[in-house]
Amino acid sequence: MTKKEFMNIISNGREDLLQQFLDLLKKLKIDYCVIGGLAVNAYVEPVVSMDLDIVVVAKEFDRLIKASAKIFKIEEFPHSLNLSNPKTDLRIQLQTDSRYQLFIPRASVKEVMGYKMKVATIEDVLQGKIWAYGDEERRKSKRQKDLADIFRLVETFPQLKDLLPESIKNLL
């Protein structure tokens, strides 16, 4: 079984909508980078994630949403637009927080669960996780997953500890 097949099995994917979405970005020539748990998986031992957290170049956002509406149901949340489709449990979360825009030009192509995609640098992935963990409005369970992702990154790359705020360093 390939990594892609595994990813589609765990997401109950009757179609490979992740690849369709990546192909749509390529077809539209929209620059992006992956920033969430799947981005963490590009750098450390992978864990299952049903979310693709991604940021796209802000000026292309509306064009992507218009093209995505043919494939996905779109829901708006405070800091993201979520794309879903009944043919998979995978959720694509388009980050709208402008802080993430700086990550895009530093990103590089990596393989994640059998997919080639642009992933934020490890430092940027860590920063995104720090922001997410620090967001008191997020569900506690999500914040705990963010903290676990921070620990996974720092355990594998100890030099990243220097980038952590004291409040998180004290939890290590």
Q: Which tens digits make up the pLDDT trace of 106-116?
A: 999 999 999 99
Paired strand residues for 110: 117
Amino acid at residue number 123: E
Phi-psi region of 67 (alpha: psi -120 to 50; beta: other; left: phi over 0): alpha
Neighbouring CB atoms inside 10 A of 57's CB total 16
| Cα dihedral sign, 44-47-52-53 | negative
If you average pLDDT over residues 132-139, what whole number do you get? Answer: 92
pLDDT of residue 105: 98
- Does 117 score more than 90 pLDDT? yes
Question: In Å, how far are 22, 32, 35, 74, 165 from 104, measured between CA atoms?
Answer: 15, 6, 9, 23, 23
* C-beta of residue 65 within 8 angstroms of C-beta of residue 81: yes
pLDDT(47) > 90: no
pLDDT confidence tier of residue 49, bands split at 50, 70 and 90 = confident
Does the pLDDT value for residue 19 go beyond 90? yes
Question: How much is the pLDDT for 91?
Answer: 92
Q: What's the CATH number for 3-120?
A: 3.30.460.40
